[in-house]
Amino acid sequence: MSKKIYFGTNLKMYKNIHDTVSYLEDLTRLTADLNRDEIELFVIPSYTSLPDAVKISRRELVHLGAQNMCWEEQGQFTGEISPLMLKELGLDLVMIGHSERRHVFRETDYEENKKVLCSLEHGFTTLLCIGETEQEKEYSISNEILRTQLIAGFHGVSTDYAKKIWVAYEPVWAIGVNGKPASVEYANEKHGVIRKCLVELFGEEAGKLIPVLYGGSVNPGNAERLIEQPEIDGLFTGRSAWQAEAFDKLIRSALKKLGKMV
């Protein structure tokens, strides 16, 4: 069977409970006919929307994740969310190290590593986000930065966990309203660097199977070209996915490009 194609969105600090629920209902209905042996679809809503999202979601169709998580189960960590609290909700996925966590909230690779270990130990599929800043790109140290984020982020993670790991490559300069999307050639090249590093860390067999998604200004104009790049396993989309109809269209056009659907 060919590799699955991944499509996901992080709703960031947008959409209240009501809007999240109707978004999920629409997205589930619109995409229900897509063969889940071929695609993996996931949405990462705000914490406050998660309990309702869990109640109304058909998880075999749309997986649900959390945007962040503490590395401890309980304690003096005001404002944090414990893995046990997320387990209580029965989530599928935890995202670690999104660019905004790293750059707005100053999280370090060391902290991301503690979160990754904790998330995997608690049974969550763990999506580690990595990406270089504009300055790091200008200094031509992007590859070193990506390798550092992977090596540090997965420090101490045994190969047994590889099946539960996803990676998103999101260049910081490509994300959000002021972002410029990476060229498909640049994205594909960096995905190659990431793949090589994952193979070094987890071995040939396991390292090759870890899905690596591209994110950062994915839009209807570049989605098809990005997804057809050999090293890109999926699209992690922000703004262009926040209307269910638009996301459904983007997914379908990408799949069509790959010859995967009607």
| 191 Cβ neighbours under 8 A, 6+ residues apart | 169, 212, 214, 229, 231, 232
Q: In the beta sheet, which residues pair with residue 129? A: 168
Show the site string, 119-158: x = touches ligand PGA by CB under 6 A, - = not.
Answer: ----------------------------------------
Cβ count near 175 (within 10 Å): 22
Q: Which of 26, 19, 51, 22 is nearest to 41 (CA)?
A: 26
- Indicate if the alpha-carbon torsion angle 38, 254, 41, 191 is positive or negative: positive
Identify the H or E element spanning 158.
none
Q: In the beta sheet, which residues pair with residue 234? A: 6, 213
Distances (CA, A) of 198 to 124, 138, 145, 219, 242: 19, 24, 14, 27, 30
Q: Which of 142, 149, 188, 237 binds ligand PGA (CB under 6 A)?
A: 237
The residue range among 72-80, 107-115, 157-165, 212-220 that interacts with ligand PGA, by the rule CB under 6 A, is 212-220
CB of 13 to ligand PGA, least distance (A): 11
Residue type, 189: E
170 is catalytic: yes
Helix or strand or coil: residue 48? helix
Q: Which of 5, 20, 238, 251 binds ligand PGA (CB under 6 A)?
A: 238
Q: How many CA atoms lie within 13 A of 47 on its CB side?
A: 12
CB of 76 to ligand PGA, least distance (A): 30
Q: Which of 23, 173, 236, 247 binds ligand PGA (CB under 6 A)?
A: 236
The residue range among 23-31, 56-64, 131-139, 233-241 that interacts with ligand PGA, by the rule CB under 6 A, is 233-241
Which residue has the CB atom at the shortest distance from ligand PGA? Answer: 238
CB of 119 to ligand PGA, least distance (A): 18
Measured from the CB atom, the residue of 68 and 82 that comes closer to ligand PGA is 68
Show the site string, 161-200: x = touches ligand PGA by CB under 6 A, - = not.
Answer: ---------x----xx--x---------------------
The two three-digit tokens of residue 32, written as one number: 């229900």
Query: Which residues make up the interface to ligand PGA (CB under 6 A)?
Result: 10, 170, 175-176, 179, 215-218, 236-239
Residues catalogued as catalytic: 98, 170
